[in-house]
Structure 1
């Protein structure tokens, strides 16, 4: 029985690491596609609208 619990913990941890890896890979791919689109269009950055003030600003890399 303890072996079953250890195996379940290993598989659960592995699944969580796999999901984290996939999420990070998707973010990296999306960021790369955005940068390629900006270079193709000759844009310096992407503008985003602040919902509170209605002011547009250049998107930061963290977003």
Structure 2
């Protein structure tokens, strides 16, 4: 029985690590696509509207 519990704990840690790895890889892919699009169009960033002030500011990197 202790071996089964240990196996389940190891499997849960592996699953969590895999999900974390995939989410980080997706974040990097999105960032690379954004940089590639900016190079293609010659822009220097993306403007977003601040809902509190109504001013436009450059989007901060994630």
Task: Let me know the Cα RMSD of the aligned residues.
Answer: 0.7
Instruction: Give the equivalent residue in structure 1 for 2:18.
Output: 18
Pairs aligned (count): 62
Q: Which runs of 5+ in 2 are unaligned?
A: none
Q: TM-score w.r.t. structure 1 length? A: 0.93
Distance across 2 between alignment mates of 1:31 and 1:12? 29
**Secondary structure of the structure 2 residue equivalent to 1:57:** strand
**Secondary structure of the structure 2 residue equivalent to 1:61:** coil
